[in-house]
A and B are shown apart, each in its own frame.
Chain A
């Protein structure tokens, strides 16, 4: 197995910056996505608003069915019927992505926004060498390079993700899971996009490889100056990687906060219960989950979507949908009880 030692960690731009206004590279406003089924529309994403700052690492955390993957695909305009966008806008700087034609969107994908999808290491073409797959992305976007220029580009991209040049002439099955995932990241950064969306990029990987991949990801993101949206359900991974975190539940965004704040002072009851249900190597034998089950998205509860399971639920929560309000600079919560 080829050894894959990594460059040391690049500077970490976390604390202290969250309160400074930064230009927004991606902005979602009141986005709603429904899936049409014979039994009615499934509210996969409901009225979601948030902004992604330049060069920021943003996390979108939620359980299965919270709508996070649907949202990632919608931003890329990759959702297909029966899914449809019912409301809202997605601004990539000054362009509303939802108004673009498919041809225009195709130009943007990979060049401006890239996606590292779940299980994407299994989407590498098994009969193509790595070099050719990486070149595909470039040539599809009209970049014409001679063979030696392309080889150079491929080698430099592989080096950025910590892979040796020999990988270029290998086939996917000759690589380990971690190496394949790095290739996918290399493809995603090949055109230096402004936004990279990573949907559970390490879900199939072991914990040691996961750490390596995420550190590589952090490095390349800083190098090319892209913003990242990390979608997942692993709070621990979020704590280690992102600068700001958004919590999704049943299609809605319940809380957005800088990462340190959200772990030290979670505002929304769901976030609080989520954090306390995480097993750790500190306390043994405490098995507290969140009582109840996520609601059916066909029959969304009235008012606050979390009220059936919330210990603080009051009449107001059943009647009125709480709005996402900025309770402190940089901290947004959607709860009637957030001060």
Chain B
């Protein structure tokens, strides 16, 4: 009965039972119910693509010093005015924001990936491996991160490039995700369906990949958002202290120059206002995304009815 042609067609039907079509549909339906995630993502993407979009409106070369007349308040030609070194501030914002975000993204992704890997292995296999890794993570977390970053940054001769900055931040960004993701994996490890998988002959690494990981995707995404926030803050912090790439118009460097030139005291409000607004927007978008992801990660809300 089950080996007729009809049976074959039936089988083909269940195997790809609307896999991607189903998924897309439910994603769109979900977006309507989870506005925070969508709004957060949209703002983040706009900020990230600001240099691509902005290139149509402003000449990015003017983000370099000595491009325009310095200390001009906002006007029609220069909507954000210019700073003391003759940079067009609109160009600076448009060119620099994506750079800062890139640092955050690279460091955040690396942090969660590496931290996650350590977490999965440590939590699933347990034993001495877990004890060792946990020890490393716990010790690492107690060391003041900013201090380490400053020391590392100072050791690199000639200042850091944007990519190097990302690597430096990433070197510590994996510690916190390693700990939090480990806790999540521990709770899933004890579930009955993991035991069933084990009894079905699935080896450990496949269980991690196929049984545990998919259930943690929302949590990993939320962890990523947190990681990106922390990385952005760390990089801005280093830059404000003067340890960042001196020639890049990142937000942190702009803040550094604002500080260096006492822009606040001098009343050059068009200089210090945009970076603050952009930082505000960036963190609002990250916050909205984490609120939205929190709802997904909460199992009571996911896949209801």
Contacts and interface: CB of A to CB of B under 8 A. Distances in A.
A42 interface: yes
Interface string B105-140: 000000000000000000000000000000000000
B200 interface: no
Contacts of A38: 29, 33
B305 interface: yes
- Size band of the interface chain B makes with A: under 10
- Size band of the interface chain A makes with B: under 10
Interface in A282-310: 298
A319 B304 CA distance: 31
Contacts of A298: 305
A39 interface: yes
A37 interface: yes
A38 B33 CA distance: 9
B112 to A, nearest CB: 31
A67 to B, nearest CB: 15
Nearest to A37: B305
Max chain B CB contacts within 10 Å: which of A38, A39, A42, A298?
A38
A55 to B, nearest CB: 39
Contacts of B304: 37
Contacts of B29: 38
Nearest to B32: A38
Contacts of A37: 304-305
B36 to A, nearest CB: 17
B301 to A, nearest CB: 11
Max chain A CB contacts within 10 Å: which of B33, B304, B305?
B305
Interface string B262-305: 00000000000000000000000000000000000000000011
A42 B33 CA distance: 18
Contacts of A42: 305
A76 to B, nearest CB: 21
A42 B304 CA distance: 12
Contacts of A39: 305
A38 B29 CA distance: 9
A130 to B, nearest CB: 30
Interface string A223-249: 000000000000000000000000000
B223 to A, nearest CB: 28
A40 to B, nearest CB: 10
A111 B300 CA distance: 32
Interface in B157-172: none
The 7 closest A-B pairs by CB, nearest first: A37-B305, A38-B33, A38-B29, A42-B305, A39-B305, A37-B304, A298-B305
Interface of A: 37-39, 42, 298
Interface of B: 29, 33, 304-305
7 contacts: A37-B304, A37-B305, A38-B29, A38-B33, A39-B305, A42-B305, A298-B305
